[in-house]
Amino acid sequence: MNKKLITSVVAGSMLALSSLNIVHAEEQYQTVAIKIDGDLKNFSQSPLIYNDVTLVPLRGVFETLGIDVKWNDKERKVIAQKGTDVLELKIGEKQAIKNYQPIPLMMEAKIINERTMVPLRFVSESFGAIVNWDQTTRTVNITSPVEGEPSTENPSDNKAETGLPVITFAESYEKAINNSPEIRTQLLTIKQEEERRDDTSTLVFNNVLNKVGYLNVAYAKLGMAEKQLVIKTDAIYLQVKSAYNAILQAEEKVKLLEKQLELAKVQKNISEQKAQQGIISAMDMTLANNALIEKEKELKAAQDALAKAYDAFNHLVGYPLDQRYNLTDVPKYEGEFDTDVNYQVNKILSDSIWIKLYEENVKIAESALDTYVFNSPSNGDSYTVTEINIDKAQSTLSEQKKTLEKSIRDTYHTIQDLQNKYEILKTQLTDVEENQKAMKVRYDQGMIPLVNLMEINIQADTIKQNMFDIAANLEILKTQYEKPWLAAGSGN
């Protein structure tokens, strides 16, 4: 070997070592064509075959597929992002990291003509594109991921696009009314009382006062049956609202836990990497594993709770238990609940349908005494017992008023407490969102790892989920405040 050739080989070797896997233009490799979604592409560096491995230009391919690509010159690292997925790839390493999950490469990434080149298969393994090699035409064919194919996005985030049947709260309420055996029974009760009233009006009595007394009782019983129908209808309203909101709350809980589980997986992967480097102890690794297992169990429990919520709702509205829906009437916080609790108490105790129902009981007891006939075999009770029935009806009415007043005031204070908690969470969310923005800037600049950004995002999502729960609960409480007899299940 002559001196000139030896010098050339040594220089080339030194250059290769110092350039960290940079391949120069002088080294000729066979190039191939590339098509993306059927269109022939011409990048500044064409795909090529290097040691029997097809390499493609990462930036050109990824950006064509709608993936944002950044270069960190200090760490000699590519950062690619699409949606919530973030991929990091260092030049010279035989694995990439996607959301802190390793993706092995057939060959380490290389720089050729100042372009990062990666193995063709990596394109599909990283963001789900379909890749094929046409040996006949020596062409790389890349197809974008098909819309609707599984992705890292939570499918619950786009329920309107899932094809689930849409059902509003009003539709649910109507279906539950039609499906209720209690409503059907109460309608039959009203029909019975109408017949009894009509029969009473045709009967012959010894005197007018007796006839008037019996007619009053018949009308009172009919009025009670009609009021009970309204109360049962209101009770179903509350049941449907509770069941409807329970599904929405359970769905939000599942979505949050899915994100928390993803974070737990990332943290476990980080712990594994640190354990391999001897940075953390076996105990730390065990804690990371346990945290992941715990989060998996929490998600499973939340999914079971969602299924149970659907079962209760479907049973109420009369749908098959396995049916699922796109529930569109999402609870919304309406701001401060401006009401005078003393006014509400007076209103309910003076003219609510529930109090009138018990007042009718008093009237019936009084009519029974007014129409009492001494020494009549038709009397079921003695005169004294009939008098006591009036006292009992009046006592029950008084107790109902006390119970309703307490329910109104308790519900009012619970509403105020939840509103205060919502406003506190609202302030906390503002602070966290400001922190999110700052963390995102730092992440984009390569100052913090992805896991830090994931942690702050989940912190914000947790606050939002708590606020959603409060908004849903406030809807129920405000219904109970307007109709306090429903709070204790009195409507049943």
pLDDT, tens digit, 9 for 90 and up, residues 205-221: 555 556 666 777 888 88
Q: Name, in order, each residue with C-beta under 8 angstroms of 280's C-beta and a sequence gap of 6 or more.
A: 271, 274
Helix axes 169-179, 208-276, angle to 10 degrees: 130
For residue 316, which phi and psi values (nearest 5 degrees)? -70, -40
Under DSSP, the state recorded for 168 is -
Q: How many helices (H) and strands (E) does the chain have?
A: 11, 16
Beta strands of 37-182 (E only): which ranges?
Answer: 39-41, 48-50, 53-57, 68-72, 77-82, 85-90, 95-98, 101-104, 110-112, 115-119, 130-134, 139-143, 166-167
What domains does the chain contain, in order, with CATH numbers?
19-143 (3.30.457.10), 157-374+406-486 (1.20.1600.10)
β-strand 95-98 against 85-90: which pairing, if any?
A: antiparallel
Alpha-carbon torsion (472, 473, 477, 479), positive or negative: positive
The residue ranges of the chain whose pLDDT is under 70 are 1-28, 84, 100-102, 146-163, 203-213, 373, 375-379, 488-492
What integer pLDDT is reported at residue 488 of this predicted model? 57
What integer pLDDT is reported at residue 134 of this predicted model? 79
What integer pLDDT is reported at residue 272 of this predicted model? 87
Residue-wise pLDDT for 87-112, tens only, equals 888 888 877 887 766 677 778 888 88
What tokens were used for 163? 């094809």
CA 429 → CA 81, 323, 432, distances in Å?
A: 25, 35, 5
